[in-house]
Structure 1
């Protein structure tokens, strides 16, 4: 495992609002869209909003306007949900958070994968093709996967879309993306049981598949990555890619520059629970590392 504890010293939040598990995509209209876990201060309580912000330049961000509500919420469990509404108990307190919504622009519309702990993972589709929605559940029937968390999507070069979650589990979806077309399997690095215990994300760059996951090491919440030549592997050794940057995702801007999202969930992170980005590059071994001279803010 390659040790790397460096981050850009000027890494700053994109805006001052509590967001965990930050996700960003470049939309079909040339704007960037951001979402993530909201519900501060009780991340483990009863929440239910999927909120979205937009930016033209990755610097200035504004909430999406959703008529007639005039705020950033594009979907809400109590207003729009079905199976997601059940409120459970955790340590004697009401428990039904909505965690880690992840936004994608695929097939000319917007998709948001999300998790309701203990109930299941879902997938929302914008039926208008616009980022503000309206969004509807695209998974037919019950939640596709129960108990585990952190749903994600990956679209390969041939158009196939894969559903990921938990610690590296993956299955190809059917063509309508209403369910899974095959049994789930676990993608494993060669030197560990999993790439991370949560926060799985898969993307392709330089002809290779890069599988990211979040892991606590000595109290620090890091992003680890393992790579392969084929989507199902075999994957090589996992290595530390983004220190203190666990539960992130990777995206390209309009110029082709790769970025990692960041939110701060470690005692040594430069800030806590705020959305951020940092440039990343690939070294000679096609391993990911932060660009240390990247200045934000």
Structure 2
């Protein structure tokens, strides 16, 4: 059994707001932006907001959009969507959640990936170059980018952007990021079918590609990882990178230090369904592991 004691002792929420699948990026303006799944208490109901928070130091956070403005979200399905508006039924109840939005700063603007289960993945672009948007659907056809759950972006050293989703699927995007330029393919670790059944994320560090994903072991929700010298693999064995990390992502701060996001999936977590972040490092084998101290010196 993997214990929570393997995480930093002082891991605490960044702020007190119900949120899952935490995503953080450092913007072009030197500000950190955070998003994630909202819609508590019923994460499986009819939701549709993408909200953003900002911070200059990873310690003090505030909503990007606050009252008295009429809206608190940068994008909303019912206000801004098209194909995303369809409401289905699950166990006799209305079903249309918006899950796991991620924020990325690429090509001098901000991008939001997200998924609506049973409908598919979307990709939004800020047309102002600012984190607050406004955001528009960057896919030219009135349809999802793929029919899967979860979504992410990765930009390689040559500037090429790739779309990731589901359990480790990836495809190169075209130049203006309006469509996939190839079929999705599954990136698999050497010792398993997939790195995780959901929450796929890819980043490059220490000269290697690191693929992460979320999976359950004995009822606990962990972040697994596998690494490769080449983008399309082969990838090595998967291993537990962030115990109880679940659906997370990895980012760098202003000093180039590496972090993992966190949210706490169950009642035995250090905290439940609140945004968090912890410092990570790479061991002598090049594997990701949490650092015992979770804060940086910014």
Query: Is the CA contact (8 Å cut-off) linking 2:52 and 2:74 kept in structure 1?
Result: yes
Partner Cα distance (2:66, 2:112) in 1: 16
Instruction: Give 1:221's aligned residue.
Output: 221
Q: Kindly provide the CA deviation profile for residues 84-120 of structure 1, in whole angstroms up to 9, marking residues without a partner as x.
A: 0010000000000000000000010000000010011
- Tell me which stretches of 4 or more aligned residues in structure 1 moved more than 6 Å: none
Partner Cα distance (1:295, 1:60) in 2: 12
How far the C-alpha of 1:77 sits from its partner, in A, is 0.4
How many pairs were matched up?
294
How far the C-alpha of 1:10 sits from its partner, in A, is 1.2
How far the C-alpha of 1:4 sits from its partner, in A, is 7.5
How far the C-alpha of 1:29 sits from its partner, in A, is 0.3
How far the C-alpha of 1:140 sits from its partner, in A, is 1.5
Query: Is the CA contact (8 Å cut-off) linking 2:279 and 2:295 kept in structure 1?
Result: no
CA 191–9 in structure 1, closer or farther in 2 if over 3 Å, else same: same
How far the C-alpha of 1:68 sits from its partner, in A, is 7.6
Gaps of 5+ in 1: none
Give the 5 Å matches for 1:71-110.
72-110=72-110
How far the C-alpha of 1:9 sits from its partner, in A, is 1.3
Partner Cα distance (2:3, 2:249) in 1: 18
Partner Cα distance (2:92, 2:278) in 1: 39
How far the C-alpha of 1:215 sits from its partner, in A, is 0.4
Instruction: Give 1:123's aligned residue.
Output: 123
Partner Cα distance (1:167, 1:72) in 2: 31
How far the C-alpha of 1:208 sits from its partner, in A, is 0.3
Partner Cα distance (1:70, 1:288) in 2: 42
Q: Say if 2:288 is the partner of 1:288.
A: yes
Instruction: Give 1:240's aligned residue.
Output: 240
Q: Kindly provide the CA deviation profile for residues 262-290 of structure 1, in whole angstroms up to 9, marking residues without a partner as x.
A: 00014432111000000000011110000
> What SS does structure 2 have at the residue aligned with 1:79?
helix
Aligned-residue CA RMSD in angstroms? 1.6
> What SS does structure 1 have at the residue aligned with 2:177?
coil
> What SS does structure 2 have at the residue aligned with 1:124?
strand
Gaps of 5+ in 2: none
How far the C-alpha of 1:295 sits from its partner, in A, is 5.2
CA 264–67 in structure 1, closer or farther in 2 if over 3 Å, else same: closer
> What SS does structure 2 have at the residue aligned with 1:73?
coil
Partner Cα distance (2:249, 2:69) in 1: 29
Give the 5 Å matches for 1:235-274.
235-274=235-274
Query: Is the CA contact (8 Å cut-off) linking 1:246 and 1:262 kept in structure 2?
Result: yes
CA 278–257 in structure 1, closer or farther in 2 if over 3 Å, else same: same
Give the 5 Å matches for 1:1-297.
6-65=6-65, 69=69, 72-141=72-141, 142-146=143-147, 148-294=148-294
> What SS does structure 1 have at the residue aligned with 2:78?
helix
TM-score relative to the length of structure 1: 0.96
